[in-house]
Amino acid sequence: MKNLLKKSSASAILLLFAALFVLAACEKKSSKYGVLYVDSIGMTHVLATDENGSTIQDANGNLVEILTDDKSKQPLTMTEVSATDEDGSEVSAEPKTKYQSSPLTFPHMITDKNGKTVENRYYKMPIPDGWEQIGSVAIILRQKDTECQIEVQHVEYEDAEESLKEVEAVKEKLTDDELKFTKDTVKLCGTDAYKCVYDFNGNKRYIYILEKNGNVFNILCSAKSEYDKATDFESILNSIEFK
C-alpha cells in the first residue's frame, strides 16, 4: 500500500506539469450543536467542535459525529452528568449535558459555507481573497485572475529526505532541454523545508517538501511567467494550520 501511495505522489508531481482537474468540494455549515457537514451522497452530519468552533478529531484522526434522532433531528443525549471536583465530590455547578457520538471518517476535505477555509484530517488552510478551492480528491487552490495554483499533498514517505529523492528522480525523467531545476532550503510553516523549482522558460513550478507532526507533505505551486513575482506563495503557505 505504501509503495502504491508513493507512486501516486510521483504521478501527482508529473501531473503538475499538465492541467489540474476542476472538481467540487464538500461544504460545511454551522449549527448550535456543532458543524453541519453534508457528505457526497447528501447525508447531513452534526460534527462536534471545540470552544473555538473547530471540528474535533479522535486519536485515529476521525471526526466526532453527534448522533441525532431520525425523526426530530435533535441530538441524542446521555444521562446528565453533574460537575465534580478533583476528589470526585459533586459541586454546585449546573450539570453538563453530554451527547451521544460516533466516529466519522474524515472526508477528502470540508470547505466552510463562506468559502474562507478548507480542511482535511491533516491541516486547515485559509482561502485567500481572490482564490477558490477547486479540488475534490486533494485540496487545490486557484487564483481566479492569474490561474496560479497550490496543491497540498500528504505523502506516505518516511521523512522529507525520502520525498526529495522521489522529486529528484522525477526530474531525471523530464528531458526538455529548456528545463531548469534548482534546490534550496527555506523556513516554512515554522520548520525547515526543501524548495525545488522547475523553470520552463519562465513558467515556474515549485515543490515544497516538509515534515509536520510526524507527517510528510509535498506542496505543489505553479505560476505563469507573467504572474510569478506577483504571487507570494510562501506567505499563503505559512497560514496553514497543521493538526
CB 106 within 8 A of CB 89: no
Q: Domain residue spans in the chain?
A: 2-25+115-242, 26-107
- Decide yes or no: CATH 3.40.950.10 for domain 2-25+115-242: no
> What pLDDT is stored for residue 108 in this prediction?
73
Q: What is the dihedral of CA 88, 32, 78, 46, to 10 degrees?
A: -120
Query: Does the reported pTM lie above 0.75?
Result: no
> What pLDDT is stored for residue 181 in this prediction?
87
C-alpha 166/C-alpha 127 separation (Å) is 29
In the structure grid, which three cell numbers stand for residue 197, read together?
523549482
Q: What pLDDT digit, counting tens, does each position of 160-208 carry?
A: 999 999 888 877 777 666 678 899 999 999 999 999 998 887 788 899 9
> What pLDDT is stored for residue 177 in this prediction?
67
For the chain, give the number of residues: 243
- Strand locations in the chain, DSSP E? 27-31, 34-38, 44-47, 63-66, 101-104, 110-112, 117-119, 123-126, 131-133, 139-143, 149-155, 179-188, 191-200, 203-212, 215-223, 241-242
pLDDT < 70 stretches in the chain: 1-45, 68-101, 106-107, 113, 175-178
> What pLDDT is stored for residue 39 in this prediction?
62
CB 221 within 8 A of CB 149: yes
> What pLDDT is stored for residue 90 in this prediction?
52
